Structure 1
Amino acid sequence: MARGHALIVDDSSTARIILARLLERADLTSQGVATAEEGLEKLREQAFDLIFLDHLLPGMNGFEALEVIKADPDLRHIPVFMYTSQSAERYRQDAKVRGAAGVIGKQIDRDQLLTTIEAILDDASTLPSLPTTDNIAGELIEKSYTRRLTGRLATLEVAYEETHDELRHLRQSMALMEAMHQENLDKQRRRLNWLALGSVAGLAGVVLLFSLELRDLSVVFDSLNGQLAVMQDIVSSLVELVEVERQ
């Protein structure tokens, strides 16, 4: 059975996946949402033991959501970690004043994050003591730089998986586009075939009409030839009469 259930509020799917996998190693289940508004709805629907809250979010930002959580008697006991790329000391102080349990950087070493979570889960009685928790999280995170490569490798791993998924979707889109293109080509071929058949039929009609016209012309020519023959006979008869009279 899981040791706890965490809510991850971050508009980056990559960041949510990375943190969720790290929490699995601490035997924590998690659920992710992309906005603070969705996170507040989840908090009122389900029970969570930890909250990881990004600062820059669409709509309500992280600090605004933190203030809403700490003002709610049913939610204020849940430790909230600002899960952000901001690391300035002033930001940490502002987060602490608003009730955050700590600030966790997104390039954190996974082993140190697990150590921080273990410290919180193993001493549940200290959860309401925000300054103590903040010291645990802040000091453990800020003082370690030797293993950041591990966290970055995790980022690359997730980025690779997302790229693989995007390539798969791209291949599917290209296959669909190719099928649509082939369908359009087939339609154009069929249209051209019909046009060719229509052209052949039209040409055949023209040839037929021309043949009929030629036949009519032949009849006319035959009639003219007959009339010319009669006229020649008449002329020949007249010539013969003239010669007879002269004799």
Structure 2
Amino acid sequence: MARGHALVVDDSSTARIILSRLLERAKLTTRGAASAEEGLELLQKEPFDIVFLDHLLPGMDGFQALEAIKRDPALRDIPVFMYTSQNAERYLRDAKARGAAGVIGKQVDRDQLLKIIETILTDGTSAPDTDFPVPETGLDPAEHIQSRRLTGRLATLEIAYEETYDELRHLRKSMVQMEALHQESLNTIQRRMKQMMFFTLAGLAIVTLGLGLEISDLSNVLGNVNNELMIIQEIVEDLVELVGAPSQ
């Protein structure tokens, strides 16, 4: 049973899929939107318990969409998380100032994300500290960017592997079920064929017996007719002899 409904707004279909898979692990149903305008339209039509909002979007950007949500009395209490690759301290402050519940990086630790969602769903009114700044690595900016890209790709690969494993597990389960159904169908067909053979043989036996009795009766009738014909022949012969005998 679903524990909540989440909206994921991101113009990257891959990012939407990855986050949706993570949210499904927390037993959340999800809807995706490729733009802020589409996300705001969905918020007017469906009840959502949590929103994940990308910053860089076509048309209205994430901050503008966040401000629109917080201006709407019917939507302002929904926790909104900026789901972005931005990590500057100033960005974190700006997001909080506009009413964001927190900022989550696109390479966020899954266990931390699930813990946050658990807290929100349990409390229902407040969210824990959800900022995930990039840790100091001692790398220069170019190396740091390259490291972040590699980490993101590894995270994506890991999730893709897990999804593939789950799909294979479901496929194996489906194949076992299909094999069981196929075997059951074969057994049913074999039983029906045996029943048909039994009834066919029984019918043939009855017909053969009936034919045998009819043939026996016919033989008796023919025998009686033959006897009658012999009697008639004898009578005729006697009459011929009687007619042909000289008179005295």
Q: Distance in 1 between matches of 2:89 and 2:46?
A: 33
Match for residue 120 of structure 1? 120
Match for residue 129 of structure 2? 136
Match for residue 70 of structure 1? 70
Question: Structure 1 pair 144/31, CA: closer, same or farther in 2 (3 Å)?
Answer: farther
> Contact 2:107–2:151 at 8 Å: present in 1 too?
no
How much identity, in percent, do the aligned residues show?
Answer: 71
Match for residue 13 of structure 1? 13
Partner secondary structure for residue 125 of structure 1: coil
Question: Structure 1 pair 143/13, CA: closer, same or farther in 2 (3 Å)?
Answer: closer
> Contact 1:7–1:30 at 8 Å: present in 2 too?
yes
Letter of the structure 1 residue corresponding to residue 3 of structure 2 = R
Match for residue 99 of structure 1? 99
Q: Distance in 2 between matches of 1:102 and 1:9?
A: 15
Higher relative contact order (CA 8 A, sep 6+): 1
Match for residue 109 of structure 2? 109
Match for residue 23 of structure 2? 23
Q: Distance in 1 between matches of 2:152 and 2:108?
A: 6
Q: Distance in 2 between matches of 1:2 and 1:42?
A: 19
CA-to-aligned-CA distance 1:151-170 (integer Å, 9 cap, x gap): 65441256789xxxxxxxxx
Match for residue 84 of structure 2? 84
> Contact 1:109–1:151 at 8 Å: present in 2 too?
no
Question: Structure 1 pair 151/56, CA: closer, same or farther in 2 (3 Å)?
Answer: closer
> Contact 1:116–1:137 at 8 Å: present in 2 too?
yes
Match for residue 37 of structure 2? 37
Q: Distance in 2 between matches of 1:4 and 1:159?
A: 24
The alignment of Structure 1 onto Structure 2 pairs a total of residues equal to 151
Letter of the structure 2 residue corresponding to residue 99 of structure 1 = G
Partner secondary structure for residue 125 of structure 2: helix
- Superposition deviation, residue 23 in structure 1: 0.2
Q: Distance in 1 between matches of 2:101 and 2:38?
A: 21
Letter of the structure 1 residue corresponding to residue 65 of structure 2 = A
CA-to-aligned-CA distance 1:89-115 (integer Å, 9 cap, x gap): 100110011000000000111111111
Question: Structure 1 pair 28/150, CA: closer, same or farther in 2 (3 Å)?
Answer: farther
Q: Which runs of 5+ in 1 are unaligned?
A: 127-132, 162-247
Letter of the structure 2 residue corresponding to residue 98 of structure 1 = R
Structure 1 residue runs of 4+, over 4 Å off? Answer: 148-152, 157-161
Partner secondary structure for residue 137 of structure 1: coil
TM-score (normalised: structure 1) = 0.56
Q: Distance in 1 between matches of 2:125 and 2:53?
A: 22
Q: Distance in 1 between matches of 2:161 and 2:90?
A: 35
Q: Which runs of 5+ in 2 are unaligned?
A: 137-147, 163-248
Match for residue 2 of structure 1? 2
